[in-house]
Structure 1
């Protein structure tokens, strides 16, 4: 028989002090977890003991450097993609413009007409739409320069009030821009001698209807389409200019920022060289007595522009006179007025310069060509000889 023995343990106050200390000390018992915890702690301590701070710093620097390279490459790629997308979008909008308002019909008498206003002195001017060169005169009175020698370029001649003048009437104008950013260079206007407008009217009207004296709506649309066509426009203007129609005309160039004569010359010479192939084959089969070689004419033209600066808002005139002679006139705004810089006799040179603005697949200023075509249509919708001095 088993006897249950119950042992009563008294309080600490009832026991000896040594025994109380022994009882107060907790007993450390070994369990199955104690070994795992101890080994894990030992491993963590060992891993910290083997850390290489310099190696970690190098790895961090390599990571930051690689990350910076990827970020820079992404930024450059984003900028290039944005510019390319904007360029493509601009081309798409120009090819197929979408407008909320219906445009005026070509048959309307109010379509695309120039606005005539009066300045403070009461002169008739046409707004250009540019913030720097704000207006062009509706008419120009240009002195008649009789000296056609190239030597005049060394000592420009000034004009006086007593000299006979020729009145020119504005046909159209526009802004010349460069690059896809449309940087403005100058405002250009096309003028025709008022007395020669009737001859231009007659040739254009007869081209559409040989027996008509003015064109009606459908005929005007036909002529407009031909003057805007890349091939037909060049053929029409080349034939007219070669035949001396109009006999006297001018391009008025006014820079919108300070430039110089060599800069303007280089742009005009590039235009001459680009279109020279159109007329040179026709001249090669003719006798050389017709005039100087075309290369010599270009050299003379370049010589006229061996000058200094051309300030903004100052006038440069390219005049095409009788026989196709090209004259250069510059007005720097001083008291002695317009200065005659010289001329080139070769008709072919002025013809290709005029074609650079009037016809072909690529002109110097498309807004100027559109405005010039609108001005020509205003001529042909009236009876021949009735335009006189008014271009509305």
Structure 2
């Protein structure tokens, strides 16, 4: 939900005070926005396909978007965008307007509270599923390595290691052997079940490729579904600084 601010001014003891009043207006359901570096268009709203948690899918709102760049070549690989249930975005915006909070912690809280979240990946140039798969697997392995370190924000115990190993193999099997052309969509939808497990649903152009489900896990436990999605919001590995900046701007200032 977009917020347009109407400002009133008043003078007190020679100073000018600013009193913002927010007016909330819904974005048109069919509107698209353009990611400036790639010139690729993304919808403001998406309806995911059916998942194990949401049989009728989920209606999610764009929060921010940005390119993934191969640094040493300066080549844009794909556009990534974060989509979240609009009610959760609206509830979080007042706290973000008051200051710069921890983005990864915010998205983690949404997921742990049962809010559906998704990262949409759209290749800027033609590639194949094996490249996308290998990149995602490297990302989840990097995040798992961090989770094993003392003092990490996440925990990965012996039981978690067993589930992690199985889930990595499950993730590998979801990718078909085919090409992915520019503008096609790969959605990583993450949801929490009533039993406390986390489910990653991989969807290609709206068609479900499969699921990866963790064991029931306590708060801050490392899992493949949450670890993969949250990697886009963190700095290790640094997937896309433009994406993080855009999401923060969406929460603090105004949604795309």
Length-normalised TM-score, structure 2: 0.73
Corresponding residue number in structure 1 for 2:172: 302
The residue matched to 1:325 in structure 2 has which SS?
A: strand
Corresponding residue number in structure 2 for 1:366: 241
Shift of 1:284: 1.1
The residue matched to 1:341 in structure 2 has which SS?
A: strand
Residue 129 in structure 1 maps to residue 36 in structure 2: yes
Shift of 1:269: 0.8
Residue 240 in structure 1 maps to residue 240 in structure 2: no
Which has the larger strand fraction? 2
The runs of 5 or more residues in structure 2 that have no matched partner are 1-17, 21-25, 150-154, 215-221
Shift of 1:304: 0.7
Task: Pick the structure with greater CA Rg.
Answer: 1
Corresponding residue number in structure 2 for 1:143: 49
Task: Find 2:184's aligned residue among 311, 314, 319.
Answer: 314
Shift of 1:246: 5.8
The residue matched to 1:359 in structure 2 has which SS?
A: coil
Shift of 1:198: 4.9
Does the C-alpha gap of structure 1 residues 299 and 127 become closer, same or farther in structure 2, counting only changes over 3 Å? same
The runs of 5 or more residues in structure 1 that have no matched partner are 1-106, 110-115, 149-162, 206-213, 228-232, 332-337, 380-390
Distance 1:184 1:178 in 2: 6
Shift of 1:320: 0.5
Matched-pair contact (CA < 8 Å) for 1:189–1:253: yes
The residue matched to 1:283 in structure 2 has which SS?
A: coil
Does the C-alpha gap of structure 1 residues 293 and 327 become closer, same or farther in structure 2, counting only changes over 3 Å? same
Corresponding residue number in structure 2 for 1:190: 82
How do 1:153-164 residues align onto structure 2 when only pairs under 5 Å count?
164=56
Does the C-alpha gap of structure 1 residues 245 and 279 become closer, same or farther in structure 2, counting only changes over 3 Å? farther
Deviations 1:8-43 (A, max 9, x none): xxxxxxxxxxxxxxxxxxxxxxxxxxxxxxxxxxxx
Deviations 1:312-366 (A, max 9, x none): 11111110022320000001xxxxxx21100000271122212221013542111
Distance 1:358 1:169 in 2: 16
The residue matched to 2:36 in structure 1 has which SS?
A: coil
Corresponding residue number in structure 1 for 2:157: 284
Distance 1:249 1:284 in 2: 25
How do 1:93-108 residues align onto structure 2 when only pairs under 5 Å count?
none
Shift of 1:279: 3.2
Matched-pair contact (CA < 8 Å) for 1:237–1:358: no
Does the C-alpha gap of structure 1 residues 327 and 216 become closer, same or farther in structure 2, counting only changes over 3 Å? closer
Does the C-alpha gap of structure 1 residues 275 and 361 become closer, same or farther in structure 2, counting only changes over 3 Å? closer
Distance 1:127 1:237 in 2: 25
Task: Find 1:178's aligned residue among 70, 95, 98.
Answer: 70
Distance 1:193 1:342 in 2: 22
Where do 4+ consecutive residues of structure 1 move more than 6 Å? none
Residue 352 in structure 1 maps to residue 227 in structure 2: yes
Distance 1:304 1:175 in 2: 24
Length-normalised TM-score, structure 1: 0.49
How do 1:22-33 residues align onto structure 2 when only pairs under 5 Å count?
none
